[in-house]
Amino acid sequence: KKFFHKPWAMTSVMFLGMSMCLPLAFYNDAKRKKQRAAASEIEAPLLGGDALPAGPKHSELQQTLMLAIPTFFDLLATILMNVGLLYVTASVYQMMRGAEMLFAAFFAVTFLGRRLNKYHLGGILCCVAGVTMVGTSSYLSGEGSATQDISPEKNLMGMGLIIVSQAVQAAQLTFEDFFMADLNIEPMKIVGYEGLFGAIGTLGIMAPIAYYLPGVEGEGIHENIVDTVAMIGNSRALQVILLVDMVALLLYNVSGMLVTGHLGAVFRTVLETTRTLFVWLVDLLLFYTPLGLGKLGESWSVYSYLQAAGFVVLVAGTLVYGRGDEEGVRQEMADALAVAAAQEPVAQTAPEATAYAPVGTAPAPGAPAAIPVRAAVPVPTTAPMDMHPSSFKATHTIMSGSYSRSLGRNPGSYMRASHMRAGNADDSHH
């Protein structure tokens, strides 16, 4: 019996699932164009010489091609995670990815000049402690895979690859935040195009290279694409699983955009945490019930208490770090209001309220005396801030602003859509 240990193939499946967003994106685009055309016909007589808004800095083709750069980061991070998953349990895989917060904060401070407050530092400390606790529990338990025996060295290697993959994804966030914040592409198209580029890269470039690389099949370096196609073609169960995986990726991305767009990214962050817990519960269910066929899932050991404590610390760190984002935005807003108020003159003398009477005449009885009036200093209702919006992933890993600011600046912007890709390109690999 042979198991489907194919990290490169699973990476291709992930990108193919993402590319399924493109047809839906073009359908929605055509639908909106029809609605805008109908609305313009009705409102045209009322809009007379209104100027059209300025277009994006880059053409749509240029913006689309620029997506190939973050796709490369995504491909590299994905294959590292998929190889690491061969040597750790699914729950440990999910929890170890909390290390992204640490790297994202480091890159934000180093390359973007961001400042961290006490809540951010507290969240990072919780992140380090939680990842350490989860990793220690995995190493001590010796449980790494349901289908093969894993040595402690390979278990450590798997966790190390997952941590390195989070550094790559944090670098991706930093690149996006600095270079691609002004792109104006629909979120669904971004997910679809990155899936298309990723599928071309894995199937057309990396899969042939992996075929000729030295190594053992199923360990993440060498992978026989001919054998992969044969296994898929000869197994109806495997075909169904891969198809369900791609459809699940599509639904995950669409639902993630709806949740973030209508309920906010805070709510989605809670869902992301719940998903990690759900993965662990399903693993336990598979191990202790006939659903796992006696082979799947992971057991509950004495070290699982340490893993559970680490998970709680990671969740607490995420919440504390999010509080730091909120505090940072409040401080930025206060500073912007102070700067705006300081730029206004302290006082302006208005013309006197009453006209002077001709020479030799007295004011009418009961008339009010002429009093100089000073104009009040206007208080701006909105702060004139020039802040970079950030991807969804960055909203809870990099101190780049509040969830509402990062998602509300431009409903069609690139940075609003990324990390929706947080739920497609990295969170929904399996």
Please provide the DSSP assignment of 368-391 as one string: PPP---EEPPPPPSS---------
Residue pair 427/247 in contact (Cβ under 8 Å)? The answer is no
pLDDT the model gives residue 61: 80
Q: Which residues pair with 349 in a beta bridge?
A: 374
Q: Residue type for 422, please?
A: A
Residue of 220, 123, 221, 101 lying closest to 167 (CA atoms)? 101
Q: Is 216 exposed, middle or buried (0-12, 13-18, 19+ CB in 10 A)?
A: exposed
Q: Is 260 exposed, middle or buried (0-12, 13-18, 19+ CB in 10 A)?
A: buried
pLDDT the model gives residue 45: 52
- Per DSSP, the three-state class of 351 is coil
Mean local confidence (pLDDT), 210-224: 83
Question: pLDDT, tens digit, for every residue of 53-68?
Answer: 455 556 778 888 888 8
Q: Is the pLDDT of residue 337 over 50?
A: yes
Mean local confidence (pLDDT), 12-24: 91
Question: pLDDT, tens digit, for every residue of 94-140?
Answer: 899 888 888 988 988 888 888 889 999 999 999 999 999 999 999 99
Low-confidence winner among 188-192, 198-202, 351-355, 408-412 (lowest mean pLDDT): 408-412
The radius of gyration of the chain's CA atoms, rounded to the nearest angstrom, is: 28
- Per DSSP, the three-state class of 137 is helix
Residue pair 388/400 in contact (Cβ under 8 Å)? The answer is yes
Cα–Cα distance, 402 to 332 (Å, whole number): 10
The dihedrals phi and psi of 276, each to the nearest 5 degrees, come to: -60, -45
Q: Is the pLDDT of residue 259 over 50?
A: yes
Non-local (6+) Cβ contacts of 87 within 8 A are: 144, 145, 150, 154, 155, 157, 158, 159
pTM: 0.71
Q: Residue type for 421, please?
A: R
CA atoms within 13 A on the CB side of 339: 11
